[in-house]
Amino acid sequence: MGRLTGRRAIVTGAGSGIGRASALLFAQEGAAVLAVDRAADAVEETARLVRDAGGRAIAMAADAGSEHDVQACVARAVSELGGLEVMFANAGVSGGDVALDDQTVELWQEVLRVNLIGPFLAVKHAGRHMRAQGRGSIVCTASVAGLRANAGGTPYSASKAGVISLVQTAANSFAGTGVRINAVCPGLIETGMTKPVFDYARARGSTDRIGQINPMLRYGLPHEIAAMAAFLASDDASYVNGQAIAVDGGLSSTHPFKRRRQ
């Protein structure tokens, strides 16, 4: 039996990258999955991949930063999957590489709406259901950019620092309810969000230098973040609560520096 056998899970941002990898792994571990993404075709493809691998999944096109949509996701998981024990609030946007002086209020509002208000809505509505049943695990995607500077743009980094604080404060709000909440903090992972970084490096012929400032000397892959999310969702993490766990090859263990050539 898998670690998530008999559980029902929502994964947002499931149309690609970390979300798709997590939907596939959660299903492999035995969960029935509601895969959610704004990109309808992409999330339908994720659900099909899960079913083709022998898992159970349904797809739903929704905006993770809309309270109406988040409520609808939770209601659909309960009605069509039969319940909800796992919420992975993973959806996010990068906000692009915009100089501080050129950033607008509108840019900040959209990044915070998706990256921080989205997880808050997931915590609020999934948490309400989980609290009533006396158990559940919520996982949020934060980032090493939320731990310190130079791992993302200003609005992105601020939003992810907010996610870490949300997880810490929500863990205490859920005290005694049987509901756990944690965050995973990815380092540089090859996803659709980071595609410009990888495209630029490949165009310059410097792909081998991507991730060189972390001790593992490489970038990460979506399935490596999915593995941490699955752990946090499972009873293997039954005493892990209110934590922000970096999965970054060791990047956050030090301050960035230029490695000397041997």
Give the DSSP per-residue string, 52-65.
HTT-EEEEEE--TT
Q: Is 92 helix (H, G, I), strand (E, B) or coil?
A: coil
- Compute and round to an integer the Cα radius of gyration of the chain: 18
| Rounded mean pLDDT, 50-56 | 98
The one catalytic residue in 156, 200, 219, 239 is 156
pLDDT of residue 260: 53
pLDDT of residue 157: 96
pLDDT of residue 16: 96
Strand order in the sheet with 56-61: 56-61, 32-37, 8-12, 86-89, 136-141, 179-186, 244-247
Q: Is 37 helix (H, G, I), strand (E, B) or coil?
A: strand
**Mean per-residue pLDDT over the chain, rounded:** 93
Residue 142: name the closest of 121, 166, 173 by CA.
166
Please say whether the beta carbons of 157 and 205 come within 8 A.
no
| Rounded mean pLDDT, 82-107 | 96
User: Tokens 């919420």 — which residue?
Assistant: 87
Q: How many CB atoms lie within 10 A of CB 247?
A: 19
Asked whether residue 259 carries a pLDDT value surpassing 60, the answer given is: no
Asked whether residue 192 carries a pLDDT value surpassing 80, the answer given is: no
Is 219 an active-site residue?
no
pLDDT of residue 208: 73
pLDDT of residue 256: 64
C-alpha span between 238 and 233 (Å, rounded): 9
Percent of the chain with pLDDT over 90: 81
| Rounded mean pLDDT, 186-206 | 78
C-alpha span between 161 and 165 (Å, rounded): 6
| Least confident stretch, 9-23, 124-138, 148-162, 225-239 | 148-162
Please say whether the beta carbons of 128 and 225 come within 8 A.
no
| Rounded mean pLDDT, 7-13 | 98
Query: Which bin fits 12, alpha (ψ -120 to 50), beta or left (φ > 0)?
Result: beta
pLDDT of residue 213: 82
pTM of the predicted model as reported, rounded to 2 decimal places: 0.93
pLDDT of residue 25: 98
| Rounded mean pLDDT, 131-148 | 97
Residue range 147-164, pLDDT digits in tens: 998 888 999 999 999 999
| Rounded mean pLDDT, 184-206 | 79
Residue range 199-224, pLDDT digits in tens: 766 777 777 777 778 888 888 999 99
Please say whether the beta carbons of 3 and 234 come within 8 A.
yes
Look at 97 and 140; give whichever has higher pLDDT. Answer: 140
Residue 34: name the closest of 74, 1, 94, 93 by CA.
74
How far, CA to CA in Å, does 67 sit from each of 78, 122, 124, 239? 17, 9, 10, 30
Q: Which domains does the chain have, with CATH numbers?
A: 8-191+222-240 (3.40.50.720)
pLDDT of residue 78: 98
